[in-house]
């Protein structure tokens, strides 16, 4: 089977020296400054003169900015990350005019992501050592997994999260992963809050609720932060970093669990059928938003889809309006109502007793296989006939 070449990013943690940390922090600040200046210039040109400013024009502006006394410090860092952020701004405007995204926003010093992107002309990668422009020593990277044999990074992105951890992401082009051997196994999946996932095989995967586990610690840390005097004081910075570490711990554990679940599903099944949930709309429910965010259904689907593409599997999303819960998976009889309090029910036509979630997963599987056989895709559902946002066809269980 032919293996195609793909681009994959490999992310590692590293520990910079004090000099490297200072240089990178300075680079982050310059990147943010150039982005905001270019965004202001493009916005002003459009509002006052109805003129569109492209990347080439902002690149010329950057050259002029460096020559001014006020912005002369931009010369202290590598020019490549500054040029790259202008390209990112161009992409943001392209997506905006194509109605794929909102209007670009200014980057905040405290809230925006700290990152800088280097292309091949701004770094040296030899013998497993990465040295960035303007630096004399390589980064102390923890190589938690090897790069593909013969792969050389084309782009390097350095970032620092809110918890103060440093990461480097290397974009490499190389042979794609070999597809897994084909299998006849198929599975339907129903997402929930009581159980994170219910499979058509009858298996239920427990919802770990990592955010709820650390909620008391998080609340205490947030109260301590709220009592600190606002500003850039050391005590407030220390308290803010403590809150960020708790959030990072929650996100890391959740991501690790989702990776294990999705990898297992992709390895064991040729076809995986899921429900096309409108998670963004579901988050508007104030009582359930926290629990839905903790379940991370969107991240689960994203992982499942790209891993299936890597390994030659198929993921089918069933229309969100399909009545999977109220439909008998044995005889196909549609029930008139199905209150959320009913967790098991008996079909009046065939007499089969169903577990609510297992029945929904089996119906999703049957519907997905029918879609696959007909060669049809998921019917886009952005708005209901009445113009309201589409959501899941049934209410969700309230978080206990």
Residues in Cβ contact with 292 at an 8 Å cutoff, skipping those fewer than 6 apart: 193, 279, 282, 283, 285, 396
Q: Is the pLDDT reported for residue 222 higher than 80?
A: yes
Alpha helices in 10-74 (DSSP H): 18-49, 55-66
The mean per-residue pLDDT over the stretch 124-140 comes to: 94
Give the pLDDT of residue 4: 67
pLDDT digits (tens, 9 = 90+) for 342-399: 888 888 888 888 888 899 899 999 988 887 777 654 443 333 333 333 334 443 444 4
pLDDT digits (tens, 9 = 90+) for 18-27: 999 999 999 9
Per annotation, catalytic residue among 117, 275, 276, 294: 275
Q: How confident is the model at residue 319 (pLDDT cuts 50, 70, 90)?
A: confident
pLDDT digits (tens, 9 = 90+) for 249-292: 999 999 999 999 999 999 999 999 999 888 888 888 888 899 99
Per annotation, catalytic residue among 117, 276, 294, 357: 357
Query: Which tokens is 8 given?
Result: 């994959």
Q: How far apart are CA 255 and CA 309, in angstroms?
A: 19
Provide the Cα torsion 297, 302, 307, 309; round to 10°.
130
Per annotation, catalytic residue among 190, 211, 276, 294: 190
Give the pLDDT of residue 394: 44
Can you tell me whether residue 244 is helix, strand or coil?
A: helix
Based on the residue annotation, tell me whether 190 is a catalytic residue of this protein. Answer: yes
Residue scoring higher pLDDT (90 or 335): 90
Output the CA angle 351-354-357, nearest 5 degrees: 160
Q: How far apart are CA 253 and CA 308, in angstroms?
A: 22
Based on the residue annotation, tell me whether 275 is a catalytic residue of this protein. Answer: yes
> Model pTM?
0.83
Based on the residue annotation, tell me whether 357 is a catalytic residue of this protein. Answer: yes
The mean per-residue pLDDT over the stretch 95-123 comes to: 93
Distances (CA, A) of 246 to 196, 198, 267: 22, 29, 32
């Amino acid at each position: 089977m032919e293996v195609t070449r793909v681009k994959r990013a490999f992310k590692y943690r590293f520990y910079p020296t004090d000099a490297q940390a200072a240089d990178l922090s300075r680079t982050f600040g310059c990147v943010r400054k150039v982005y905001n200046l270019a965004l202001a210039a493009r916005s002003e040109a459009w509002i006052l003169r109805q003129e569109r400013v492209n990347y080439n024009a902002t690149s010329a502006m950057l050259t002029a900015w460096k020559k001014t006394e006020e912005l002369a410090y931009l010369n202290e860092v590598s020019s490549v990350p500054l040029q790259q952020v202008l390209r990112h701004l161009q992409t943001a405007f392209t997506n905006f005019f194509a109605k794929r995204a909102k209007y670009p926003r200014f980057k905040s010093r405290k809230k925006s992501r700290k990152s800088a992107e280097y292309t091949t002309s701004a770094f040296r990668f030899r013998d497993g050592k990465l040295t960035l422009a303007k630096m004399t020593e390589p980064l102390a990277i923890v190589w938690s997994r090897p790069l593909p044999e013969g792969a050389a990074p084309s782009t390097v992105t350095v970032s620092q999260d809110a918890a103060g951890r440093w990461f480097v992401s290397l974009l490499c082009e190389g042979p794609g992963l070999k597809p897994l051997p084909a299998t006849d196994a198929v599975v339907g999946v129903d997402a929930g809050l009581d159980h994170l996932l219910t499979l058509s095989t009858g298996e239920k995967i427990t919802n770990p609720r990592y955010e709820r586990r650390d909620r008391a610690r998080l609340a205490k840390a947030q109260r301590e932060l709220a009592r600190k005097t606002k500003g850039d004081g050391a005590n407030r910075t220390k308290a803010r970093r403590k809150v960020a570490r708790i959030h990072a711990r929650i996100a890391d554990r959740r991501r690790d669990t989702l990776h294990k679940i999705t990898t297992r599903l992709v390895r064991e099944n040729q076809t995986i059928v899921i429900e096309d949930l409108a998670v963004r709309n579901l988050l508007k429910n104030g009582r359930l938003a926290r629990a839905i965010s903790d379940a991370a259904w969107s991240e689960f689907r994203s992982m499942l889809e790209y891993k299936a593409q890597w390994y030659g599997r198929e993921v089918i999303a069933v229309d969100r309006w399909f009545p999977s819960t109220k439909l008998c998976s044995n005889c196909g009889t549609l029930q008139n109502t199905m209150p959320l309090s009913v967790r098991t029910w008996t079909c009046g036509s065939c007499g089969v007793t169903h577990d609510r979630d297992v029945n929904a997963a089996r119906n999703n599987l049957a519907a997905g296989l029918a879609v696959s056989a007909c060669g049809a895709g998921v019917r886009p559902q952005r708005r209901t006939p009445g113009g309201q946002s589409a959501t899941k066809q049934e209410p969700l269980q309230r978080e206990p």
